[in-house]
Amino acid sequence: MKTYDIVIIGGGPAGLAAAVSARKQGEESIVILERDKELGGILNQCIHNGFGLHTFQEELTGPEYAARFMKQVEELGIEYRLNTMVVEISSDKVVTAMSRRDGMYQIRAKALILAMGCRERARGALNIPGYRPAGIYSAGTAQRLVNKEGFMPGRKVVILGSGDIGLIMARRMTLEGAEVKVVAELMPYSGGLKRNIVQCLDDYDIPLKLSHTVIDIKGKERVEGIVLAEVDETNRPIPGTEEFYECDTLLLSVGLIPENELSAQMGIALSNVTSGPVVDESLETNLDGVFACGNVLHVHDLVDFVSEEAATAGKNAACYVKNERMKSGISIPIKAENGVRYTVPSRIDPERMEEKQIVRFRVGKVYKNCRICAFLDGEQIISRKRPVVAPGEMEQVILKKEWFEQPPECTDGSGHELIIRIEE
């Protein structure tokens, strides 16, 4: 069985940035396994612009952004295998993969980087009554059909869910000549970035109906229309608020789920909130030498942050192989409280953390004129004023290593206590 120092599962932006970073640390033996016929992941179908403002200070399309990393992978001579599906990973890092060319085979990894991205939540998860007519697509499938395969899914469109992919597709379908009648959102706020609401809905006069959902799909062979209703605080449809929209297509943009079947199988602890692995400051999971980055870890709104995070995973995987940066044995859990739903990482080793450690998180609802606060052993170390924070936009705090150099002041012997919370 061939052994590689680092095996990376997934050749999307996360896998590519992790590979480049590991190679720049001097790591020679790396392979990327990608099930698709090309590298680049989901970015290959995101042909709109807006990518790369942080990483390259330029506005790129998705394929252009991915190409920058693919070029580096080529130039650095990093090995990758396309059309290669990873079907199993054992807890001792033996990867079982298959491809049409090589059949089924196994490779051993000294360190593993999980970068499998995420998938879209499908209609089956929503319990919408009605037949199973043609014309119901996930927004990502519609994006692929329009942008890569040259097919129009339909002409009169309703979109359920106002996450970024739904918003982007509202504009895309309009530009391709379809009539987007409405975007409906179950929650009282949008799940997407503010800039996408302005640029994709407001600029095209597409209505956004918050606190609304689809309660019926009409049509047996093909979608003929949908019934929309307002929902109450418990998300139940309010009788008497039903409205019929004639349409031939319903696009669903109702959430992304990190692809962690392989991770769960190999014994990686997953967060109940993100459905991604629980990781420490090095983005290492509970299994030694197994790292995670990108959308498999938690769903990102900007690919620039995916690349940045993946570079950290790649660098730390390379250090792990070289036996650098051993664990100190101290692990400080980060408690997410009062509006903060989760944090990545969720624990830090004060010796291994960078001088400046970024901690990313999402909030559970919209807060106006609030503060993002962090407390170490009861003492406030961060208090940042924010006019508005919303679940659709990822937030972050930066922890300084020097804050952890003092021994913990709590007396129960359990070590430092770190809390991140929203204060109104």
Ligand X SMILES: Cc1cc2nc3c(=O)[nH]c(=O)nc-3n(C[C@H](O)[C@H](O)[C@H](O)COP(=O)(O)OP(=O)(O)OC[C@H]3O[C@@H](n4cnc5c(N)ncnc54)[C@H](O)[C@@H]3O)c2cc1C
Binding region for ligand X (CB under 6 A): 9-15, 33-36, 41-43, 46, 85-86, 115-118, 120, 140, 143, 164-165, 168, 256, 259, 262, 294-296, 300, 302-303, 306
Say if strands 156-160 and 179-185 run parallel, antiparallel, or are unpaired.
parallel
Structure tokens at 20: 């480049």
Q: How far is the CB of 91 from ligand X (least distance, A)?
A: 17
Which residue is it, tokens 């003929």?
224
Which lies closer to ligand X via its Cβ, residue 34 or residue 308? 34
Q: Within 13 Å of residue 147, how many CA atoms lie on the same side as its CB?
A: 21
Which lies closer to ligand X via its Cβ, residue 69 or residue 367? 69
Which lies closer to ligand X via its Cβ, residue 306 or residue 419? 306
Q: How far is the CB of 379 from ligand X (least distance, A)?
A: 36
Given its phi and psi angles, is residue 134 left (phi above 0), alpha (psi -120 to 50 degrees) or beta? beta
Task: Measure Cα distances from 203 to 152, 169, 196, 348 in Å.
Answer: 22, 14, 10, 43
Q: How far is the CB of 229 from ligand X (least distance, A)?
A: 27
Q: How far is the CB of 219 from ligand X (least distance, A)?
A: 25
Which lies closer to ligand X via its Cβ, residue 61 or residue 338? 61
Q: How far is the CB of 31 from ligand X (least distance, A)?
A: 12
Say if strands 2-9 and 103-114 run parallel, antiparallel, or are unpaired.
parallel
Q: How far is the CB of 9 from ligand X (least distance, A)?
A: 5
CA nearest 321: which of 21, 111, 115, 112?
Answer: 111
238 secondary structure, DSSP code: P
Q: In sequence order, which residues have a C-beta less than 8 Å from that of residue 115 and are 6 or more positions away?
A: 8, 9, 10, 11, 12, 14, 15, 18, 292, 293, 294, 296, 310, 313
Which lies closer to ligand X via its Cβ, residue 300 or residue 315? 300
Q: How far is the CB of 164 from ligand X (least distance, A)?
A: 6
CA nearest 347: which of 329, 363, 364?
Answer: 329
Q: How far is the CB of 6 from ligand X (least distance, A)?
A: 15
Which lies closer to ligand X via its Cβ, residue 296 or residue 418? 296
In sequence order, what DSSP letters do the residues of 103-150 get, joined into one string? Answer: EEEEEEEEEEEE---EEE--GGGT---S---BTEEEHHHHHHIIIII-
Which lies closer to ligand X via its Cβ, residue 293 or residue 420? 293
Q: How far is the CB of 35 from ligand X (least distance, A)?
A: 4
CA nearest 226: which of 249, 201, 253, 254?
Answer: 249
How many other C-beta atoms lie within 10 A of the C-beta of residue 185?
Answer: 24
8 A C-beta contact, residue 21 and residue 310: yes
**Residue 315: alpha-carbon gap to chain centroid:** 20
Q: How far is the CB of 174 from ligand X (least distance, A)?
A: 16
Which lies closer to ligand X via its Cβ, residue 65 or residue 361? 65
Nearest residue (beta carbon) to ligand X: 12
Q: In sequence order, which residues have a C-beta less than 8 Å from that of residue 95 and are 6 or more positions away?
A: 7, 9, 33, 86, 88, 89, 106, 107, 108, 109, 112
Buried b (16+ CB within 10 A) or exposed e, 271-284: beebbbbbbbbbbb
Which lies closer to ligand X via its Cβ, residue 303 or residue 397? 303
Which lies closer to ligand X via its Cβ, residue 120 or residue 349? 120
Could you give the CA distance from residue 399 to residue 403 in angstroms, rounded to a whole number? 8
Which residue is it, tokens 């709109």?
48
Q: How far is the CB of 29 from ligand X (least distance, A)?
A: 19
Which lies closer to ligand X via its Cβ, residue 109 or residue 332? 109
